Amino acid sequence: MPRPRSLRGLLAMDNFRLELERRKGRRDQIKQSLDNARKDLLECKRAIRICEKAIEIVKIVGLETQKQLEYHLSEQVSLALASVFDDPYQLKVIFQEKRGKTEAELLFERDGVSMRPIGSVGGGAIDIASLGLRLAYWSMRQDKRTRPLFLLDEPFARLKGEDANRRALNLLRQLSAKLGIQIIMISDERIPREDIIENADRVFLVTQRNGVSKVKQL
């Protein structure tokens, strides 16, 4: 009877060794997983630091771009307004963060008072500011695939007074020559025809009679 007990003991010892080896293998796997996890953690921390630095750089570049954009837009539009009006408004650009996006609010300013253009100032000033914004956008874009051509349909429809309309037409002529932009404009006669001819390379008069349009170069 002692011998069978010895066999059972040997079997138990063998099973113990097998379990021990199995657990050692499991321990080594866990250790390797921990080492890999530590390496991944270090890489993640390094990537986070790089991303944080990149975000800071993007913020700095964004703020600098906003400043340049604010200056460019304000300068272009304010110069256009000053060319037409004796007591002009100045354009003020304010950048704001809304719903995770940066939005630009355009305000008119005069004598230290800021106001929203719509509903606060005359339509003529808004027309001139709109032209200034188009020119500012075009000068910043500088897309060589796009021809420097502006098609304007009564751009100064709300501008009152012969003097202001004469100044606006002169502004277009100067901008066309300075920036190399071809301007084709449809407009009614808000100033004497002689002034229109003087400020344009070509002028075409369109008349309509009995549903038939006739075009004549002046």
Across the range 205-213, mean pLDDT stands at 85
Q: Is 179 helix (H, G, I), strand (E, B) or coil?
A: helix
Q: What distance in Å separates the CA atoms of residue 38 and residue 210, rounded to the nearest whole number? A: 87
Crossing angle (nearest 10°) for helices 162-179 and 123-141? 0
1 pLDDT tier (thresholds 50, 70, 90): very low
pLDDT in tens, 62-98: 777 777 777 778 888 888 898 899 888 888 888 777 7
Query: Which sign, positive or negative, has the C-alpha torsion 68, 63, 77, 134?
Result: positive
> Is the pLDDT at 108 greater than 80, yes or no?
yes
pLDDT band of 42, cuts 50, 70, 90? very high
pLDDT of residue 118: 80
- Dihedral angle, C-alpha 92, 93, 96, 99, nearest 10 °: 120
**Mean local confidence (pLDDT), 196-210:** 87
pTM above 0.75, yes or no: no
DSSP character at residue 218: -
Mean pLDDT, rounded, for 158-185: 88
| For range 148-155, the mean pLDDT | 86
Which of 17-21, 38-42, 110-114 has maximum average pLDDT? 38-42
Q: Return the sign of the alpha-carbon dihedral for residues 29, 35, 38, 39.
A: negative
* pLDDT tens digit sequence for 8-35: 766 777 788 888 888 888 888 999 999 9
